[in-house]
Amino acid sequence: MDNFKSVDEVLDFAINQEQEAIDFYSELANKASREDIKKIYLDFVKEEIGHKVKLMKVKEEKSLVELPDSMVTDLKISDYLVPVKATPDMSYQDALIVVMNKEKAAYRLYSSLAKMAPTEDTRNLFQKLALEEANHKLQFETEYDDNIMRDN
């Protein structure tokens, strides 16, 4: 599958990506040895759950139903996939790299959806989700700089 074929397919993909983030951050929180890091991951879990709920609401309300198929098929799935899958046994450094890439992909997807949104409310929702994902990425980049780069 190279392109999305429907609005529902795009939303299902985004919802699935949010669920993967929830699962991964939960796993990282369970493995965190420091309470402050554990709290950060659990906060991300809450935010990603909120994202998933918002996306499910958009799907349920058919807020994007007005999008022409040609706009949807212009979205290429590969533009929003991260080729490396997160695994529970990966190093902290590798986990941060995967997470930064996943947050970047989510940002790009929500930015694309915001540009296509048929209503101002839907556009604002996707812009907000994109901004939150960009902020997540920045937090992980800061963590990487502070704790990985410093150690090397």
pLDDT (tens place) for every residue of the chain, 152 residues total: 466 677 788 888 889 989 988 998 898 888 877 888 888 889 989 999 999 999 998 888 876 656 555 555 555 555 555 656 666 677 778 888 888 888 888 898 889 888 887 778 888 888 999 999 999 889 888 888 887 777 65
Asked: is 7-149 a CATH 1.10.3730.10 domain? The reply is no
Domain ranges of the chain: 7-149
40 φ, ψ to 5°? Answer: -60, -50
Spatial distance between the Cα atoms of 31 and 25, rounded to a whole number of angstroms: 10
Spatial distance between the Cα atoms of 143 and 149, rounded to a whole number of angstroms: 9
Q: Is the pTM of this model over 0.85?
A: no
Residue type, 7: V
Spatial distance between the Cα atoms of 40 and 47, rounded to a whole number of angstroms: 11
